[in-house]
């Protein structure tokens, strides 16, 4: 299969209702996208797969859903107010503005000029005010990451669940970064969704857990349909690490625009809990922790082996959901030559990720008897809990098949006159990938589909 180009994905996403440019009728807003009828289903299925693997299938993880607006003090003591910035330069010739670390050979990507300003730090956080008075005392931020709420709610989760180390807290939610140059479709945007796990471990066991989570996450991506040979694990150098990190490994993927980060696995040590906790001197914390006279809570746990209070280290697998959508679409997009001048586009999505699970296609849309049977089947199939079932009432069975190939629907179910006339009654099921068709009695249809989607 030839490499998927970004233009192919952007065209498919707009044409079939996966992703649209935000505020499109007004010329759009750079770095912001809206998920359409199929895109929201795909995105929700990816998030559900992540949540199932992280929370439901483990016995050591709890969930959280925290507010987006964030108290300024949280992001002050986390270090974000001082350090969460990118180096920015301006082109003196064309007046373009870019990230300095994204330039090639020190040249402007617009006009090629080398007449650039000196790099200067640009803080990426969106600032706002809470309440009717606009002053320094009412400043808040749209969160730049979902992690900080997990740290500030650490004690509440521990107290309400009685968790012991090691354990994790998972969250999926929106984050906001005022990117200097958002680009490459939904890869780098200003409003995005993260799926993050903060996994708390004893100091000294952090490196072992860091390695374990790297392998765990690569295995999960393979289950979503991304081959191992499309990944590269990049261990960041000391001068590349975020201000909070002891180590960080990037799981990189071959996107249409190049090999870039899909997910990061960071060792955040005790930086965050230490900086948010009260009475730090009791814990012999390292010098990287701030003095925090404003915190009211000790974010610590008792080590039962030596009966001492400790602040855990944290391993953080952090996935961008939008990047996950882009990677999964890239891998699934396939153009097939069917011979005799015919071809088709098919999204070979894993069944559990497909936006539509089954499309019911009537052979003739103007037949009251056929349409009644289609509506009856849809009602019954929705009760199976397999996902969304569509009624494709276009009247052209060939076009219906091609449309559902293109949006990744695993099965098309055709109701024809034989369905009504045969005894026992049966329907035709067409497989998306093989295009093979089988006849299945309607009395066996429910079990057939349960077995099919369980495989």
Confidence of residue 455 (pLDDT cuts 50, 70, 90): confident
- Would you mind telling me the total number of residues written for the chain in this entry? 455
94, 148, 171 from 151: Cα distances, Å: 44, 5, 11
Q: What is the pLDDT of residue 325?
A: 98
| Eight-class DSSP state of 97 | E
366 confidence band (pLDDT: 50, 70, 90): confident
User: Mean pLDDT score of the chain, rounded to an integer?
Assistant: 92
For residue 283, pLDDT over 80 is answered with no
Distance CA 16, CA 14 (A): 6
Name the pLDDT band for 165 (thresholds 50, 70, 90): very high
Where b means 16+ CB within 10 Å and e means fewer, 28-54 reads: eeebebebbebbebbbbbbbebbbebb
User: What's the pLDDT score for residue 396?
Assistant: 85
Task: Write out pLDDT tens, residues 236-257.
Answer: 999 999 888 999 999 999 999 9
Q: What is the mean pLDDT of residues 383-391?
A: 95
Q: Return the percentage of the chain with pLDDT > 70, whole number.
A: 96
pLDDT tens-place string over residues 259-279: 999 999 999 999 999 999 876
Tokens of 107: 């040249």
> Which conformational region is residue 163 in: left (phi greater than 0), alpha (psi within -120 to 50 degrees), or beta?
beta
Q: How confident is the model at residue 280 (pLDDT cuts 50, 70, 90)?
A: low
Strand positions, DSSP E, 39-136:
61-63, 69-71, 85-90, 97-99, 120-123, 126-129
The C-alpha atoms of residue 197 and residue 217 are separated, in whole angstroms, by 11
Distance from the Cα of residue 385 to its chain's centroid: 23
pLDDT classification of 289: cutoffs 50, 70, 90: low
Give the mean model confidence (pLDDT) for residues 395-415. Answer: 93
Which of 36-45, 81-90, 248-257 has the least mean pLDDT? 81-90
pLDDT at 282 over 80: no
Closest CA to 358 of 398, 414, 402, 399: 414
Residue 147 has pLDDT above 90, yes or no: yes
Tokens of 146: 């979902």
Which position has the higher pLDDT, 279 or 88? Answer: 88
pLDDT score at 290: 56
Looking at residues 428-441, what average pLDDT do you find? Answer: 96
Q: For residue 429, what are the CA distances in angstroms to 58, 220, 370, 426, 447?
A: 36, 30, 16, 10, 14
pLDDT value of position 181:
84
The predicted structure's pLDDT at residue 1: 44
Q: Cβ(371)–Cβ(365) under 8 Å? A: yes
Report how far residue 349's alpha carbon sits from residue 43's, in angstroms, rounded to the nearest whole number. 12
For 158-210, give the secondary structure using H, E and C. Answer: HHHHCCCCCEEEEEEEEEECCCCCCECCCCECCEEEEEEEEEEECCCCHHHHH
What CA–CA distance (Å, rounded) separates 70 from 242? 20
Q: Residue 395 has what pLDDT? A: 72
The better pLDDT of the pair 424, 69 is held by 69
Look at residue 52 and tell me whether its pLDDT is greater than 60: yes
């Amino acid at each position: 299969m030839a490499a998927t180009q970004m233009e192919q994905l952007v065209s498919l996403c707009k044409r079939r209702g996966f992703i649209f440019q935000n505020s499109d009728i007004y010329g759009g807003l750079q770095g912001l996208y809206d998920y359409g009828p199929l895109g929201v289903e795909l995105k929700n299925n990816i998030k559900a797969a992540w949540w199932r693997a992280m929370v439901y299938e483990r016995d050591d993880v709890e969930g959280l859903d925290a507010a987006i607006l964030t108290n300024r003090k949280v992001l002050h003591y986390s270090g974000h107010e001082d350090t969460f910035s990118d180096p920015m330069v301006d082109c003196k010739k064309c007046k373009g503005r870019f990230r300095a670390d994204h330039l090639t050979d020190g040249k402007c990507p617009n006009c090629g000029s080398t007449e650039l300003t000196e790099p200067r730090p640009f803080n990426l956080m969106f600032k706002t005010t809470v309440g009717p008075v606009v002053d320094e005392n009412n400043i808040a931020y749209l969160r730049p990451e979902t992690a900080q709420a997990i740290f500030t709610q650490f004690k509440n989760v521990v107290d309400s669940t009685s968790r012991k180390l090691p354990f994790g807290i998972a969250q999926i939610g929106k984050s906001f970064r005022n990117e200097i140059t958002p680009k490459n479709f939904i890869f780098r945007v200003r409003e995005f969704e993260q799926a993050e796990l903060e996994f708390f471990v004893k100091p000294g066991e952090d490196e072992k857990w860091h390695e374990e989570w790297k392998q765990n996450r690569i295995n999960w991506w393979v289950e979503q349909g991304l081959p191992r040979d499309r990944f590269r694990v990049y261990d960041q150098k000391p001068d590349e690490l975020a201000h909070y990190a002891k180590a960080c490994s990037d799981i990189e993927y071959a996107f249409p625009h190049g090999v870039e980060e899909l997910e990061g696995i960071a060792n955040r040590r005790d930086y965050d809990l230490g900086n948010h906790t009260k009475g730090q001197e009791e814990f012999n914390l390292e010098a990287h922790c701030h003095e925090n006279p404003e915190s009211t809570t000790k974010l610590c746990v008792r080590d039962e082996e030596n009966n001492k209070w400790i602040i855990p280290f944290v391993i953080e697998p952090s996935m961008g959901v939008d990047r996950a959508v882009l990677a999964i679409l890239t891998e699934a997009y396939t153009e097939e030559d069917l011979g005799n001048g015919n071809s088709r586009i098919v999204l070979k999505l894993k069944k559990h990720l497909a936006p539509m699970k089954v499309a019911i296609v009537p052979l003739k849309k103007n037949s009251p008897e056929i349409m009644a049977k289609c509506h009856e089947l849809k009602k019954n199939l929705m009760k199976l809990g397999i996902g969304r079932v569509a009624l494709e009432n276009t009247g052209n069975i060939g076009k219906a098949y091609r449309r559902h190939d293109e949006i990744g629907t695993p099965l098309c179910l055709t109701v024809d006159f034989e369905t009504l006339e045969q005894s026992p009654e049966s329907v035709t099921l067409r497989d998306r990938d093989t295009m093979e068709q089988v006849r299945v009695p309607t009395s066996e249809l429910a079990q057939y589909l349960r077995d099919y989607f369980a495989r």
